Amino acid sequence: MLIFYNTATNEYPLFIGDILLINESWTSGMSLPENIVSVEETTPISAGENQMAYEVLPVLSDGVWKQNFAVRDLSEDEINNTTRFRYEFFRNWTIS
């Protein structure tokens, strides 16, 4: 999947349809519109128990824009909702 980033406005993620809204005659292989860069996909980071990994703005690393991820702790409400969901989802399961 192609992902793009507007370095002037911090719009992210952008996709091919977004690029076509900027320049409807753009096709793969052409130069990208001004301030638009391609972002390389990376493997998301792992989150621990009671944490959540999420995507943040890309980072420029060795001349390549790459996906970037962060981790945050879940709130008490999020933990309770996750626990309740697991209970409701698995409570009727039986092992045969």
* Residue-range definition of the domain harbouring residue 10: 3-90
Distance, CA of 58 to CA of 64 (rounded, Å): 10
Q: What is the pLDDT of residue 81?
A: 79
Both structure tokens of 25: 């005659």
Q: Where are the beta strands (DSSP E) in the chain?
A: 3-6, 11-14, 36-39, 51-61, 64-73
In a domain, 96, yes or no: no
In a domain, 95, yes or no: no
pTM metric for this prediction:
0.74
In a domain, 48, yes or no: yes
What's the total number of domains in the chain? 1
In a domain, 66, yes or no: yes
In a domain, 17, yes or no: yes
CA 38 to chain centre: 14
In a domain, 18, yes or no: yes
Low-confidence ranges of the chain (pLDDT < 70): 83-96
In a domain, 60, yes or no: yes
Q: What is the pLDDT of residue 96?
A: 59
